[in-house]
Structure 1
């Protein structure tokens, strides 16, 4: 429709109030009377109300009328000259009464398939009609759905619809719009239709992993489904697919393990997968043409088709993701799923907006979209049905796919109450469930005290946060030239001690996700090429090893970016979300070149796993058993005691300066590790510059 040609529009702004907008180019915007016409009964009601001051609007004269109407019926407004327009109900979703009137508690939205029949239900309380379109055996079938309580439209088709395709035609203000099903289980390529599958054929066997006694027992390794296998060096056949994770005995050009064989040997406990739900900017039929990390969700409810061997096969959409997770479980590792419940790729093109306009996306006081995500929209997580939808989808990923935790992208945009409910739901299903996310304080249209930010961590004591103080102190900020303690800024020695054992930042130490590198921003290797440009390559790598050691041995939960353990590079680029496979694909041959560092990381992970002093679960244990000391304003002494484990006492020395520092060693200590193979001589040990040592007793 040409906007400049609109002569009249009518909007229900409350459940007993209508606003009519009459073009000032049409009889100067003046009409002596208006009627409300019920198209079902043909009843014509004369409206009484007032013209509003419209001096601030150059295009329309505004009128306000108080009148009652029935939701689900089709109405037109008629002016004194016979001009008509449909009454638009879509703005009612922003009324404070809307949730009370239309919140639906049922767990039966979407399609419920049996061989004999399939029942479809969609929550669309503002619509004036919904048509179900089924595509089966090359033929189209249309079924008008029946409006029920709380604005839920339903229809049952009495035949076997397995593998049939479908979508909804939803009517708002006289126009039908095509919408996918927000609760569907599968879709065809690029989200053209949803597909009906038999869930009885897709049940997951329960995994038998031992319980996670403490969250601090976790060691998280982040990777992307596509990046993990895409390189020619991966040795995997199903490049960029879920199926690559199920391939055994894959190897580099030199014959060394890659894939899950490698990760299970590395020793990490949790694989964090970057988003695997359907995202918008990769053509699923031509996935090599475009690249994206996946933080642009199109459908929350189905898997990304470019990761499936056949994106038009509804069963493979589910089954291949299930298989990937099952294979990871079989290697003794858990799966954390990166979820993006803070925004969607296109506010107008997704099923949430099309089924219930203006409801699922947060608004500013003036009605404009909130944009704390910097992606054009924020999900309205305090709206009851939006909150329920997020909870329902989280439960689906946990129950149908078997995930063991969630990493929340831009978690600061999500309200605290929603996050607490997600955490409680996850723990009720699995006591070992892990939830953490980005707690940045974004400028969204939600009160700051209600945001799940790192500043509000004490309000969500069971949810973890990426610790940017840890990152910036030990590595330097995201500005490439800045230095942290381990890149040589020894003025930060005291802050580095605080980062390694942070007693003040969180309610519980298990909330601290200790990281210096993730998919965002430059890799540490690339950053050190800039911040430490005046040092030779080997010195930079020594610093990177110290940084890895600090991540793995600090109190809290360690987080490693895939390839960090063999100095991953993205050629100096930072935000590589669409930079392509050449930049983002994991170069497995680099692992072979840096095998000494990989083995060092394996040693550190083994040390952490076998000595609980590195993963104390509460502050009282840390205060009683951990001491840190600043040695000569340049070196950190990290001293730990434990009653159980390989050793009774452990001392870790981190020397990020370029100077050697000599320390006195108590009787009974031996050197477990020393970067320069140093030895204790006459009760003294020299810790060389850019070096670390681990002593045990």
Structure 2
């Protein structure tokens, strides 16, 4: 529509109020009367109201109080016979909308049987919905009937398995194509949805060791695409879900990669970067463009570029299931990175098309909130938006077998929604984990309702990425800044605090301890800048110290894939679209760092077999753990336990370049010394940039 030619527009702004806007280029924006016309009955009602002082220099605004029926088509008629459709879309912003139209049913989407398929879509603001089905090359149109709470439904007889479909949703006189927000599968690039028989995609369950305490978890983050894309990966299904199902893959030197490598590393959880359908990779040409997937197009189906055939609805489901089943078969739990904070394009996605203005948060002036810096924020306090998030979380858990969620930009999501997500997950699986980014984003939601790290005490069972831990031990995201382990010993006291995480959170299990993740530069690349004057081996010593601190600190350790063999992205920061050459995991690099990987395996073994490194409450930490500042440059980390391989441990972290001699209590022996030192006459020499573990 040519917007400059619009002379009149009308909106229902409340359930008994209409606003009409008349162009000042048309009779100076003046009309002596207006009518409301029901196009079904031709009834014409004279409107009573007033012209308002207009804030818009192009249109004169009028306000009228009148009753109307939702789902009916109306036009506004002025004194000169000019007409326009009445638009209901702004009603979704009324406080009464949720009370009137919240639908608590669990039957939205398509429900398939061989004899018939029932389709239901929640579209209370629309004035009509038509289902279009494509089967065996033929198109079929089915008008849908409006029911309670604005749910449109239709029952289609016959076997529609693998049929393609979408909705034609009518708003203000125009039909617009919309996908089904509750569909289970889609064709490539979200052109259509596909009907599937859920009985053909049962979830295979593997008995997993219960997660007694969240601090028992050791999380390893990777991307489906990055994991296998390199020619060094030894995997055939490059960039696909199925790469995770391949056993016995190896590097050119014969060292294990892929699933076998994850199995032997010792981690407990694999965190997958987004696997829901995202926008900026062409699924028919998946290797032409690259993206991490934080640009969601749909939350309800898997990403087609990760599937062997993006037009096959069953493979969309089955291959993701097979990936997760393969990881479960090795005793590894799977955490899914979810992006319930924004959508890639407000205007193109099914949520906006089915219920305009409802699913996206608005500022007081009606503009879109943009705390995500991606153009929009999901309106998580709206009841049906909250229900949608819960419904999709349950689907990923029940249909795909997900064991936890990592929430991207969790600070944009309200606290009540996050509590419900966590409670729902744990009701289905007591070992379920929920954690996320608690950054305080400037979204149009009161600060006390945001799920931020500052509000962690309101959500004591949800974890947060600990940026104090990251910035203190590694340095901030500015490449030049140093942390304790890169040599800034002025941060020794803060580093001691980070390692024990005392009083930062309501519960110690809320602290996700990390120094590297998909965002920002890798630690290796950062040290190339911050420690430019040190040689390669010295930098690697510092990187090993960082790994040791992540794995042995109190809280939950988080490792970025390849961090354990000094992954590099060529010094680049936010590589979300930088391509495979930058992002693909170079498995041959692992061959060069076998000693470091064995060191990480030792650290993980130490943590797993000794509860003192993973206490699950602050009382136990206060009673059994202490840190000391040695010579204002080295940390002494002492731990006691009643059960485990030893009763007492002392860990020395020396991030300085200075050698330090310490007295050692009787009974302690050297379990690990990165510089091969020994106790002589009750004394231990600790070299600069050195890690030592003593046990008694």
Please confirm whether the aligned pair reaches a TM-score higher than 0.5, indicating the same fold: yes
- Residue matched to 1:30: 30
- Residue matched to 1:487: 486
How many residues in Structure 1 have an aligned counterpart in Structure 2? Answer: 696
Residue 5 of structure 2 corresponds to residue 5 of structure 1: yes
SS state of the match for residue 299, structure 2? Answer: strand
- Residue matched to 1:669: 668
1:232-279 Cα shifts (integer Å, max 9, x gaps): 000000000000000110000111100010011000000000000000
Alignment of 1:17-96 (within 5 A): 17-54=17-54, 56-96=55-95
CA distance in 2, matches of 1:512, 1:409: 16
Answer whether contact 2:205 2:325 (CA < 8 A) is retained: no
CA distance in 2, matches of 1:676, 1:327: 39
SS state of the match for residue 627, structure 1? Answer: strand
Q: CA deviation at 1:53?
A: 1.3
CA distance in 2, matches of 1:634, 1:25: 75
- Residue matched to 1:304: 303
- Residue matched to 1:342: 341
Answer whether contact 2:660 2:685 (CA < 8 A) is retained: yes
CA distance in 2, matches of 1:483, 1:8: 61
Answer whether contact 2:410 2:451 (CA < 8 A) is retained: yes
CA distance in 2, matches of 1:584, 1:174: 47
CA distance in 2, matches of 1:62, 1:456: 43
Alignment of 1:108-127 (within 5 A): 108-127=107-126
CA distance in 2, matches of 1:57, 1:667: 83
Answer whether contact 2:178 2:353 (CA < 8 A) is retained: yes
SS state of the match for residue 445, structure 1? Answer: coil
Residue 204 of structure 2 corresponds to residue 205 of structure 1: yes
CA distance in 1, matches of 2:607, 2:67: 67
Residue 392 of structure 2 corresponds to residue 393 of structure 1: yes
SS state of the match for residue 268, structure 1? Answer: coil
Residue 591 of structure 2 corresponds to residue 595 of structure 1: no
Residue 694 of structure 2 corresponds to residue 695 of structure 1: yes
SS state of the match for residue 298, structure 1? Answer: coil
Alignment of 1:350-499 (within 5 A): 350-499=349-498
Q: CA deviation at 1:102?
A: 0.1
SS state of the match for residue 400, structure 2? Answer: coil
RMSD of aligned alpha carbons: 0.5
SS state of the match for residue 685, structure 1? Answer: strand
Answer whether contact 2:217 2:268 (CA < 8 A) is retained: yes
- Residue matched to 1:171: 170
- Residue matched to 2:619: 620
CA distance in 1, matches of 2:225, 2:466: 26
Alignment of 1:118-267 (within 5 A): 118-267=117-266
Q: CA deviation at 1:639?
A: 0.5
CA distance in 2, matches of 1:51, 1:483: 63
CA distance in 1, matches of 2:258, 2:378: 35
CA distance in 2, matches of 1:414, 1:112: 30
Residue 644 of structure 2 corresponds to residue 658 of structure 1: no
1:430-473 Cα shifts (integer Å, max 9, x gaps): 00000000000000000000000000000000000000000000
CA distance in 1, matches of 2:254, 2:501: 42
Alignment of 1:572-591 (within 5 A): 572-591=571-590
Alignment of 1:548-559 (within 5 A): 548-559=547-558
CA distance in 1, matches of 2:626, 2:101: 56
1:511-533 Cα shifts (integer Å, max 9, x gaps): 00000000000000000000000
CA distance in 1, matches of 2:484, 2:126: 59
Q: CA deviation at 1:608?
A: 0.5
CA distance in 2, matches of 1:525, 1:653: 22
Answer whether contact 2:465 2:513 (CA < 8 A) is retained: yes
Q: CA deviation at 1:207?
A: 2.3
SS state of the match for residue 279, structure 1? Answer: coil
Residue 20 of structure 2 corresponds to residue 16 of structure 1: no
- Residue matched to 2:275: 276
CA distance in 1, matches of 2:58, 2:633: 69
SS state of the match for residue 301, structure 1? Answer: coil
CA distance in 1, matches of 2:276, 2:191: 15
CA distance in 1, matches of 2:114, 2:155: 12
List alignment gaps of at least 5 residues for structure 2. none
Q: CA deviation at 1:504?
A: 1.2
CA distance in 1, matches of 2:534, 2:347: 51
1:370-421 Cα shifts (integer Å, max 9, x gaps): 0000000000000000000000000000000000000000000000000000
Runs of 4 or more, structure 1, over 2 Å off, are none
CA distance in 2, matches of 1:236, 1:113: 36
Q: What TM-score, normalized by structure 1, do the two folds share?
A: 1.00
CA distance in 1, matches of 2:654, 2:56: 67
SS state of the match for residue 298, structure 2? Answer: strand
Alignment of 1:605-644 (within 5 A): 605-644=604-643
Residue 539 of structure 2 corresponds to residue 520 of structure 1: no
CA distance in 2, matches of 1:635, 1:30: 79
Q: CA deviation at 1:556?
A: 0.2
Q: CA deviation at 1:206?
A: 2.3
Q: What TM-score, normalized by structure 2, do the two folds share?
A: 1.00
CA distance in 2, matches of 1:554, 1:676: 21
CA distance in 1, matches of 2:57, 2:609: 73
Q: CA deviation at 1:205?
A: 2.1
1:547-597 Cα shifts (integer Å, max 9, x gaps): 000000000000000000000000000000000000000000000011110
CA distance in 1, matches of 2:468, 2:28: 61
CA distance in 1, matches of 2:625, 2:80: 84
CA distance in 2, matches of 1:211, 1:608: 17
Q: CA deviation at 1:6?
A: 0.3
List alignment gaps of at least 5 residues for structure 1. none
